[in-house]
Amino acid sequence: MNLELHNKVIFITGGARGIGAAITQACAREGALAVIFDRDKEAASALQLELSKEGLRSEAVVIDLTNSSLLQTTIENLSAKLGRIDGLVNNAGTNDGVGLQNGSPERFRSSVQENLVHYFTMAHAALPMLKKAGGSIVNIASKVAVTGQGGTSGYAAAKAAILGLTIEWAVELDPFGIRVNAVVPAEVLTPQYEDWVKGFPNSEQVLRDIVSSIPLGERFTEADEIASTVLFLLSPKAVGINGRHLFVDGGYVHLDRRLTKAAH
């Protein structure tokens, strides 16, 4: 299917690693100019080199997304340079384990800043160009927003807020033809996820237990599967989808777990 993204300009935060990298690759392979926003210079450069070897286009902005004033200025300068912004993927975030019992008000505030505020800053700064293009925003949330996890209050609050902002922005930006949707992953075996699992003394058993509770195929969702959904939502093919939360999780959140347990 031609997603009509050729020569479109797509901004992707956290676009150098994990789910973000898969989205960057997918955008570039559809002929878009993928613009990576990431603090990891080495990972961004490596991804750019990989894409260039395929003859694909990308740009990298190495930046701390929590620096709102610098982020605003950077996007304004990029807008002038590139002349358009057709899509924004707000993806960057960290499940940092700032919980109610082990955290503090200061750490909670920092966690929300790290995981939420840049979503607003990116959208606010890109908005003039998105209005011109009638573009699309896709926010990456997390199943933690609706299921909880325990011990990660800051991340859960930020991801729940992202779901709320998705609907709010869809309402506010509807007159400009800008669609806003959220993708909600659950268990995706990214490098960050693997690092979290390695923190358990019985990490292999933890992985087996998680996989055994995923209804569809008892397997992790692939980052490429998240990316495919994001690309569809960015494209004109998804013109009828607005203000929605799409769960790409193999049924992990909504299907009865007994479907998997009964098979063992």
* CB-based contact 95:151 (threshold 8 Å): no
* CB-based contact 221:250 (threshold 8 Å): yes
What type of residue sits at position 126?
A
Distances 55 to 14, 58, 155, 240 between C-alpha atoms, Å: 22, 10, 37, 32
Six token digits for residue 98: 């700032």
Q: Which residues contact 48 (CB under 8 A, 6 or more apart)?
A: 36, 58, 59, 60
For 40-72, the DSSP string reads: -HHHHHHHHHHHHHTT--EEEEE--TT-HHHHH
Strand partners, 179: 136
Q: Is residue 155 annotated as part of the catalytic site, yes or no?
A: yes
Six token digits for residue 134: 């009638």
Q: From the candidates 119, 155, 193, 252, which is the catalytic residue? A: 155
Nearest to 138, CA basis, from 11, 31, 37: 11
Task: Give the burial string for 93-109 (b: 16+ CB within 10 Å, else e).
Answer: bebbbbbeeebeeebbe
Active site residues: 155
